[in-house]
Amino acid sequence: MSVLTARLHARRARRRARSARAGSAVVVVLAVLLALGAADAPAVALVPGTPADPAALAATPPMGVNDWNAVGCTDAFDEAWVRAQADALVSTGLRDAGYRYVNLDDCWAAPQRDTAGRLVPDPVRFPNGIAALADYVHARGLRLGIYTSAGTLTCDARGFPASLGHETTDAASFAAWGVDYVKDDDCSTAGTDAVARYTTMARALRATGRPMVFAVCDKGSSAPWVWAPGIAQLWRTTHDVADDWASVADIIRLDAAVAGRSGPPPGRGWNDPDMLEVGNGLTPAEQASQMVVWSMLSAPLLASTDLSRGDPATLALLGNRDLIAIDQDPAARPPTVDLDEATGRLVLRRVLADGSLAVSVTTLGDAAVTVPAGVSGRDLVDGGRLLPGAVVAPHASIVVRGG
């Protein structure tokens, strides 16, 4: 096993442990928030007439690339790697298919703030700074995203400086650097209220006057789909994804349970079941299933693999225009969800803006399922003809779109 692989496995084990601890609080927090009602959530005063009005941001689910599941906090994560992803989005045609964000995750910052209290890019990983990287990305028709945490330290074991108590300063830095997207994680929060923490950062970002998509990343522990509309454009609904089917299937169940909360901001926002593992350790059928279900759920499509080394199958799946059209459908109507836990068959149905119906059948379990009555047509993934009663293999998906 290579050093890089070993580090990634260790990181994923730590990540699953954090997610398990956070998951125990979800039910309690959700019950409290539902009892209070969404109307009792703090309102965020928007700056009238500014381009940072949420109505102008993320009208469809964001699409792009994030480094974390590909290289994490290893030495491979640096300016050259990020630039290579930007170049690959262009050269592979993924930019023109809708993938526009190049998002940095944890470990981009130096271990200490400067004497003025500002975040500093790691001088080894990013010797030219974040502003120069943003210029590089923008010159290719792309947008730059950055990572922080709504706590005192970020989530990596080394704990880089995060934004709790520094929201105004950090938002100003992000705006000055030309950042277009901010992912705000939830580590080292010192027991502070999630709604208050994320509302403070949302206000700070808007006050800069620069349009920046705001992504709440508390793993669903505070039920952000209840309170975050009007505060953020998207929010994580689940624990971190891993490149194994058990993780993906669990996330599908969790995200599908709140599918009705997803829709265009500012009235709603996008449920985020975490990044795509397409190109990583899943089987080809499992990768296709993740892409299918994420598209049917109007989830952000954020690849997290090395696109500069992507094989043709990976690039073809990420660039599947039929699936992207479903994900980016402007009507953004949530699907109906029919999950048979006895068989593991998940059927999602979405009426699209043109009146057509998209239907997917996914096998979450380890035994094959059959296509239900009323579902027929050509599979948008492999082009095969589907008829009711056809078999869908374990961990696989089919998806059709008809009139």
Same domain, 215 and 139: yes
Same domain, 224 and 84: yes
Residues 84-111 have a mean pLDDT of 98
Distances (CA, A) of 68 to 110, 146, 303, 343: 17, 12, 10, 33
In one-letter notation, the amino acid at residue 202 is A
**Better-predicted residue by pLDDT, 36 or 213:** 213
From 105, 106, 156, 185, the catalytic residue: 185
Cross-strand bridge partners of residue 147: 183
Does 115 map to a domain? yes
Whole-number Å distance between alpha carbons of 139 and 240: 32
* C-alpha closest to that of 223 among 276, 164, 271, 156: 271
Whole-number Å distance between alpha carbons of 214 and 235: 9
Whole-number Å distance between alpha carbons of 99 and 63: 5
* C-alpha closest to that of 74 among 158, 172, 181, 162: 158
Same domain, 165 and 34: yes
Same domain, 293 and 345: no
Check which CATH number belongs to the domain holding 276 and give it.
3.20.20.70
Please check whether residue 287 is in contact with residue 320, taking contact to mean a CB–CB distance below 8 angstroms: no
Same domain, 107 and 174: yes
How many other β-carbons are positioned within 10 Å of the β-carbon of residue 342?
7
Does 198 map to a domain? yes
Please check whether residue 262 is in contact with residue 221, taking contact to mean a CB–CB distance below 8 angstroms: no
pLDDT value of position 55: 56
Whole-number Å distance between alpha carbons of 128 and 108: 12
Residues 50-71 have a mean pLDDT of 81
In what order do the strands lie in the sheet containing 345-351?
336-340, 345-351, 357-363, 397-402
**Range(s) of the domain holding residue 367:** 336-402
Taking only the tens place, the pLDDT of each residue in 214-231 is: 999 999 999 999 999 999
Whole-number Å distance between alpha carbons of 249 and 242: 10
In one-letter notation, the amino acid at residue 233 is Q
Residue 162 has pLDDT above 80, yes or no: yes
Does 2 map to a domain? no
pLDDT value of position 171: 98
- Catalytic residue list contains 185: yes
Q: Give the predicted TM-score (pTM) of the model.
A: 0.88
Does 304 map to a domain? yes
Same domain, 283 and 391: no
From 78, 184, 240, 243, the catalytic residue: 240
Residue 173 has pLDDT above 60, yes or no: yes
Same domain, 231 and 347: no
Residue 43 has pLDDT above 60, yes or no: no
Please check whether residue 236 is in contact with residue 201, taking contact to mean a CB–CB distance below 8 angstroms: no
Ordered alpha helix ranges (H), 262-400 = 284-296, 312-318, 321-327
Same domain, 56 and 194: yes
Q: Which of 275, 300, 327 is the last residue of a domain?
A: 327
Whole-number Å distance between alpha carbons of 59 and 269: 9
Q: Which of 308, 327, 346 is the last residue of a domain?
A: 327
Same domain, 317 and 270: yes
* C-alpha closest to that of 233 among 183, 195, 276, 273: 183
Does 4 map to a domain? no
Residue 47 has pLDDT above 90, yes or no: no
Average pLDDT taken over every residue of the chain: 89
Same domain, 341 and 318: no
Taking only the tens place, the pLDDT of each residue in 302-320 is: 999 999 999 999 999 999 9
Same domain, 322 and 197: yes
Count of alpha carbons within 13 Å of 62, Cβ hemisphere only? Answer: 37
Does 183 map to a domain? yes
Residue 68 has pLDDT above 80, yes or no: yes
Six token digits for residue 401: 């779109």
Q: Which of 273, 294, 327 is the last residue of a domain?
A: 327
Six token digits for residue 177: 């650097």
Does 5 map to a domain? no
Check which CATH number belongs to the domain holding 383 and give it.
2.60.40.1180
Residues 11-23 have a mean pLDDT of 44
Residues 286-290 have a mean pLDDT of 98
Name the strand (E) or helix (H) holding 250.
Answer: helix 245-256
Query: Over the range 281-312, which residues count as b (16 or more CB within 10 Å of their CB) and which as e?
Result: ebeebbbbbbbbbbbbbbbbbbbbbbbbebee
Six token digits for residue 10: 């260790």
Same domain, 176 and 196: yes
Show Cβ contacts of residue 157 under 8 Å, excluding neighbours closer than 6 positions. 14
- Catalytic residue list contains 240: yes
Does 114 map to a domain? yes
Q: Count the domains in the chain.
A: 2
